[in-house]
Each structure stands twice: as structure tokens, then as C-alpha cells.
Amino acid sequence: MAWQPDDLVRRLDDVIEVYGAAMGYHAALLQTRRGYVAAHAGRPGFRAVATTGDDGSLLGFGYGYTSTPGQWWHDQIRASLRRDDGKSWMSDCFELVELHVRPGAQGHGIGQRQLRALLSSVPHRTVLLSTPEADEDTSRAWRLYRRFGFVDVLRNFYFPGDDRAFGILGRTLPLPARVPA
């Protein structure tokens, strides 16, 4: 289901819980993320989706917005790309900020449905995201992004304050009508 900015903020405790479980982050870091997530809801081009269980529990969520200069993530990635690559990937870009499914709910197509819903009709030429580096054969996230045609933009990228390496992946939009299973 599509979420409005107020929906994300209203369910912020649930969003942070799912985010922490999916990413394996400790509680102290999760508290700092609360403010960032709430602030993201006010960014231009904000879009969000969520999947809830029959009992109303949050099983997964995703959101993003228009990526522009002056935003922390945008500036980190742009500074690391060659000039032509930066212009090509980031001049008309939707930043897929978060896409997570509660670990116990993974493997049932929730991430795929959320990704498709989030990126359908996005009025941008490209989409970029970052995901922790992992074995592409065993990581559900990597397999999902590859199935949707995401390609490497940067690999083994380190964000300030995080000791894990990330892959920066991108693809042109729109998404294909069908994605291989």
C-alpha cells in the first residue's frame, strides 16, 4: 500500500524496528536514525510503501525521494563518481533510501512487490540505492536488485561513520513490465 509522509512518521517506531531487524544495527544507532527517517518524509518527490500483516503489524516498508545536491547521501556518492558518471546517474535521480522486510517475513515476494510499487511511475530517469556488500548468490537483497536490472555504480563504498562496505546500484527507469522470477 502507498504511504503518505504522515503515515511513515506515525508508524516510525515500527519502521525503525523493521529497519533494525533487517540491517542488524544496534539500538543506539537506531535512535539516531529516527530523526533522519522523519526528516526524509519532507523531501521533494517523497514516496513510500508499506506491507502490513492481517493484524496490522508492519512486515516491510520502503521509501525514497528526488536526489538533489546538498543532501548528504547524494553528495557522498556524487563526490565519488567520475564527472560523466555523476552527471549520467544523478542529474535526474530517484534515491531509493530504504527498502526492508522483517526477517521472518522475507522470501514471500514482499520486497519485490514493494520495489515495483515504489518505483512505478517515478518521474525520474534513474534510480540509485546503497546496500551492504554481500554474497550476491545468498543475499536476498542483492538477488532482488539484480533481478530488477540494477547494475554496479560503485562497489566497496564506505560511508563516514559506518564500517561496512556498501554497493551503490542503479538502473534506468521505467522498470520493465515483467521481471524474471
Q: Cell digits for 21?
A: 531487524
Question: Residue 169 in contact with residue 142, Cβ under 8 Å?
Answer: no
Catalytic residues: 145
Q: How far apart are CA 64 and CA 129, in angstroms?
A: 9
Q: How far apart are CA 115 and CA 62, in angstroms?
A: 7
